[in-house]
Amino acid sequence: MHTSRQYSVLSRFFATQLRRAFQAIGVPVTAVMVGLLIGAAVLIAHGANPMAAYAALWQGSFSHLAAVGRTLEKTTPLVFSGLALAFAFKAGLFNIGAQGQLLIGAFAAAVVGCNLKGLPPMIHIPLALITGAAVGGLYALVQGVLKVYTGAHEVITGIMLNYVAINFTDYLAAGPFKDPTPGNIIARTAQIQETSQIPQLGGIPIGFVVGVGMALVLWWLIKKTTLGFELRTIGFNVHAAQYAGINVKRFLVLTMLFSGILAGLGGAVETQGVVHRYQPGFNVGLGFDGITIALLARTHPLGIIPAALLVGAMRAGSNRMQFAAGVSPEIVDVILALILFLVAADRLVRWMILKRPAGTRLSVLGAGWNRQ
């Protein structure tokens, strides 16, 4: 009798865990599949063969070691921008200013990489990374302070600060920090020193390994520490958090600061590991792609990795798809937009899976996205 009762308890436990896993994974996986199906219909409407297009996309992303390396290069900054957005979502904040923080961090890393000479790689590489992360965090701190002490919405201030970052770094790259190489007419910094360049390990960018490690640390911080519990409490209900004695203002400012650090670190990794200089236009969209990745991962830090791999693979394979299948690379943006729409409208996707409405609770941006 006792054994039968234990078996029943274990069965219910495993059934609950499977149901939770399905709820966490089923929606984004279904959204990706439906997005690809709708994308195939768009390709057919434009006279293209969707099978050939998707085959070319795969070939450009994973068919050989060089393609995998290119995919991981595209993925690495996306991991950091996705983590930046996901961490902010946990506290109910929408850090749309991650794009500007990433650009500022990328530029700061380029300045340190270009101008400090004679340093060994063991010092130069982390110094440039830390500088990019710190500058990105300080830039995000402006949003946090304005949010907490003036009531300015972080989305509005984030959008405005993005424009400031874009134009300010463009000015610096075309003016005081322009590449002095004779004959250069392009707005960009000089190439960073070899001692500050992040190397690859067997075709795998070390920056990607760092991003995976950061995702693990963030998961542990959010799930296993008191700090993470307080952060999630604020995201669930800020008034309950205040009643429980949590210093909400301090947490919101620190959350935005750390989110900016992650975004700035992503920009620094892009500069040191891929571009090897700062050049306007090379980092466009990486911060905004973080929104897609964070929502696709449902703000779970470990889910950021496969979500970023998906977006990185599509970015890496888009050129191959264009030449092999005669498809405009912008179709990748259309497919990603469809996936984002379906993930955001998760009630529709749950209906697709279960053929019935998914309860009474809707997922929303902000507090709702931290419930994983």
The per-residue pLDDT for range 72-105, each reduced to its tens digit, is: 988 999 999 999 999 999 888 999 999 999 999 9
Please check whether residue 272 lies inside any domain of the structure: yes
pLDDT for 369 beyond 90? no
Please check whether residue 9 lies inside any domain of the structure: no
More confident residue, 315 or 99: 99
Average the pLDDT over 300-313 and give the result: 90
**pTM, whole model, 2 decimals?**
0.84
Number of domains into which the chain is organized: 1
Residue reference for tokens 């952060």: 231
Q: Which amino acid is at 296?
A: L
Q: Which domain holds residue 118?
A: 20-370
CA distances from 30 to 17, 136, 283, 338, 368 (A): 19, 34, 29, 12, 20
Q: State the pLDDT at residue 168.
A: 93
CA distances from 238 to 92, 224, 369 (A): 9, 20, 14
Evaluate whether 298 touches 371 at the Cβ level (below 8 Å).
no
Please check whether residue 196 lies inside any domain of the structure: yes
- For the record, the structure tokens of 239 come out as 């008034």
Please check whether residue 8 lies inside any domain of the structure: no
For 184-195, the pLDDT digits (tens) are 888 889 999 999
Please check whether residue 350 lies inside any domain of the structure: yes
Calpha distance 339→139 (Å, rounded): 30
CATH of the domain at 134: 1.10.3470
- For the record, the structure tokens of 34 come out as 């439906």
Q: State the pLDDT at residue 357.
A: 47
Q: Which candidate, 70, 30, 35, 4, places its Cα nearest to that of 350?
A: 30
Calpha distance 144→142 (Å, rounded): 5
For 241-291, the pLDDT digits (tens) are 888 888 888 889 999 999 999 999 999 999 998 889 998 887 777 888 888
Residues with Cβ within 8 Å of residue 287, at least 6 apart in sequence: 81, 84, 97, 98, 99, 100, 101, 102, 103, 162, 263, 266
Please check whether residue 2 lies inside any domain of the structure: no
For 169-212, the pLDDT digits (tens) are 999 999 899 988 888 888 889 999 999 999 888 778 888 999 99
Alpha carbons within 13 angstroms on the beta-carbon side of residue 105 total 36
pLDDT for 69 beyond 90? no
User: Could you write out the three-class secondary structure of 69-105?
Assistant: HHHHHHHHHHHHHHHHHHHHHHCCCCCCCHHHHHHHH
Q: State the pLDDT at residue 353.
A: 56
Residues with Cβ within 8 Å of residue 94, at least 6 apart in sequence: 88, 154, 155, 158, 365, 366
Please check whether residue 146 lies inside any domain of the structure: yes
Q: State the pLDDT at residue 280.
A: 87
